[in-house]
Amino acid sequence: MSHREAGQVAAIHFYATAPYPCSYLPERQARSQVAIPAEAIDSGVYSQLVRLGFRRSGLYTYRPYCDSCQACIPVRLPVSEFQPSRTQRRVWKRASSLSAHWLPLRFDAEHYALYRLYQQTRHAGGGMSEDDAQQYSEFILKSGVDSHLVEFRQDGALKMVSLVDKLIDGLSAVYTFYDPEDTQMSLGVYNVLWQVEQAREMGLEYVYLGYWIAECRKMSYKSAYRPLQILRGGRWQWLPEHARDALASGK
């Protein structure tokens, strides 16, 4: 893959990491395939990589490359086909009092405090639960592509922050953190619904939701958004309702 700008071509190279403990499935080893150099990955190149199943974490662009596991399946929502469930429609109505504001990538102490609360409540003991301000900034605020923060407030109170990448064909939901003490509005669900609506208004085709992992409770929720497309065998295809258990077992 090459990146072309002003008559110059910068080749994108890929390397495989050494095995490391999997963040999602206990007692498994993971590997990643990483795209380099980071400075050659602009929004156009990154859009192509996302269509191939890549994601990013800060300036690090990767996809799963495990030796004996294919549990991480890239998924996306085609916005023109999306049909919210009855529960999702209730969530949308219940959270209608939230106001959303698009912001550039910049450090905000209030955002960071919410991030810390979210990590320590929802992911206590995880790798990010003790992130300091520098680690937060490396993860959330470093990007070489068209990235934005979106903050959601209710009566002035900060409820949620979402990191969103704008691609050629859609929005990529990079990371979202929210008030874990608010159990009424189903903020995570609302965020997905909001991104679908934003993509529709922008004339974009998809919302890329990252990886669906049927065996991991924290990642399996994505199959609740229908109809869902999965990247399997290098081709985007519909996820049939009856196929979930088969995919979870790797068949």
Q: What CA–CA distance (Å, rounded) separates 178 from 185?
A: 11
Both structure tokens of 187 = 């903020």
Looking up tokens 């924290």, which residue turns up? Answer: 218
Give the mean pLDDT of 199-221: 93
Amino acid letter, 73: I
Model's pTM, two decimal places? 0.91
Euclidean distance between CA atoms 72 and 55, whole angstroms: 12
Q: Kindly list the strands in the beta sheet with 13-16, ordered across the sheet, starting from the edge strand earlier in the chain.
A: 13-16, 32-36, 60-64, 55-57
Q: Mean pLDDT across the chain, nearest whole number?
A: 91
| pLDDT above 90 (res 1) | no
33's tokens: 């395939």
Predicted confidence (pLDDT) at residue 158 exceeds the cutoff of 50: yes
pLDDT digits (tens, 9 = 90+) for 85-117: 999 999 999 999 999 999 999 999 999 999 999
- What tokens does 29 get? 């080893």
Name the β-bridge partners of 163. Answer: 149, 175
CA distances, 182 to each of 75, 176, 185, 186, 239 (Å)? 27, 15, 7, 8, 32
Handedness of CA 163, 2, 72, 68 (dihedral sign): negative
pLDDT band, residue 250 (cuts 50/70/90): very low
Instruction: Provide the pLDDT for residue 42.
Output: 96
Q: Is the peptide bond before 240 cis (omega within 30 degrees of 0)?
A: no
**Sign of dihedral through CA atoms 56, 58, 61, 66?**
negative
